[in-house]
Homo-oligomer: A and B are copies of this chain.
Amino acid sequence: MLATIERAMDETIRMEEIISLAKRRGFIFPAGELYGGLAGIYDYGPLGSLLKEQIKKLWRDTFVFGREDIFLIDAAIIMGEKALSASGHVGGFSDPVVVDTKTGKQYRADHLIESFGVEHAENLSLEEMNQIIKEKNILSPEGNALSEVKDFNLMLKTELGASADSSNIAYLRPETAQGIFVNYKNIMDSMHPKIPFGVAQIGKAYRNEITPRNFIFRLRELEQMEIEYFINPKDWEKYFELWRKEMHRWIELIGLDTEKVHEREVKGEDLAHYSQRTIDFEFDYLFGRKELYGLAYRTDYDLKKHSEASKTKLIYTDPHTGESFIPHVIEPSLGLDRTILATLVSAYREDEMDGKKRIYLALKHNLAPYRIAVSPLVKNKDFIVTKARDIFHNLKKRFGNVAWDDNGNIGKRYRRQDEIGTPFSLVVDYDTFEEGNLFETVSIRERDTGKQERVAVNNLVNYFEEKFSE
């Protein structure tokens, strides 16, 4: 028990260190901080947005450009009321909320009830929750009486146009998926794909979480990378299995700690109304094991609903058999912010180097904000600086995300590059120009081990190409 508490405390401290590093080093800032902050909303800073771009690029390279059966789309974030009524979100995308009658603070009713030992409280009806709160005399965390439990719709609402006409109500989409389903017909009519095919999208989605928390885990503004893969229902098990493997391949590709990743078969009442099978990919964050990704067999639920509500045929006709049907869907759904959080948790390391405590991010080179940092040993020798600038420009031209770093002494630069996860630090020093050398050489230091080696200047591009192909 003591060990468990100690571990939880360690993890809480570790989480705070990661949040602190993220802010200090320009990865992630609390949004609106200048004005007291906005709960559940974060801004990505210079290094965070580079990391984010790398992940998005890798996802597109893997699942869109690396395949032939996936189309990219980029649908609008704002969606109309009719579309989101048809999908079930206007009626059903809600969480049960109770209010502390004294402070006015809101809480998730099911979470409060669960903290009193009731399992799967999210499956209870509002009545059942009210009953339990009464029976168990559950109070707010501040010790005050609670209001009745009510359903609270999680969609962010807005109004389009100047009149207060109700037909102008619109929502910020709660998932990118719906932007794909409502475009099914447009995609069929323009691209004429054959089943199986997928439609992929990266974009923002919004959930008015009652209690946003855990840094970038439970957000009100979040980003998703989703694929809706359209299939013949008879093949669903095959493609479910295929995407399950693809998701594991992705998890390895970005270097998540695979020991922290766990599949959870979602069963019974936990299964969403639209799904016939769902696997949650959970991750051991530093605040418990929670959802990272989801793989769902959504059947034909969404297309059917949109077809009925819009009175439009959303079908597929097999060119060989002539069979017509509403395609079924396998959905690998990835949260981008959670990917970043799991990446930071996987990569964060502390050790001792040269007798001092060291913090570093062991990011894979395909995610690191900068893959190489180039430095002149000193700033007051023109021949050293000029050579370093030359090398910097060449490497930047070839590899893009290469940093120039001439701030402070070399030791400090190494520590700084370690903290932001730069895999290689290159230094032009006096040895570069040593007489008797066959070639000019530079020092290259590897982040994780701190080991240094000398590499010929005219072999640098090859050297890094090899390192980055690993």
A interface, CB within 8 angstroms of B: 23-26, 29, 31-36, 38-50, 52-53, 60-61, 65, 68, 71-80, 82-83, 86, 97, 99, 104, 106, 152, 156-163, 165, 170, 172, 179, 182-183, 185-187, 189-192, 199, 204, 206, 208, 210, 220-221, 306, 309-310, 312, 396, 400-401, 404, 407
Contact = CB atoms under 8 A, between A and B. Distances in A.
Nearest to A72: B49
Contacts of A165: 104
Contacts of A46: 71-73, 187, 190-191, 199
Given A35-B80, A43-B179, A158-B156, A74 B52 contact: yes
Contacts of A192: 407
26 contacts: A23-B186, A23-B190, A24-B189, A26-B187, A29-B186, A32-B83, A34-B83, A34-B182, A39-B161, A41-B76, A42-B76, A43-B179, A45-B186, A45-B187, A46-B187, A47-B190, A65-B401, A77-B77, A78-B220, A99-B163, A106-B162, A160-B220, A161-B208, A161-B210, A162-B210, A204-B204
B45 A183 contact: yes
Given A29-B186, A152-B162, A44 B75 contact: yes
Interface of A is mostly: mixed
A157 B159 contact: yes
A46 B199 CA distance: 8
Copy tally for this chain in the complex stands at 2
A310 B35 contact: yes
Nearest to A206: B78
Closest 6 CB pairs of A and B: A26-B190, A46-B71, A35-B82, A44-B74, A49-B74, A43-B75
A310 B34 CA distance: 6
Contacts of A31: 75-76, 78-79
B23 A221 contact: no
A78 B221 contact: yes
A107 to B, nearest CB: 9
Contacts of A186: 23, 26, 29, 33, 43, 45
Nearest to A369: B72
A208 B97 CA distance: 31
A239 to B, nearest CB: 20
A332 B34 CA distance: 25
A160 B152 CA distance: 12
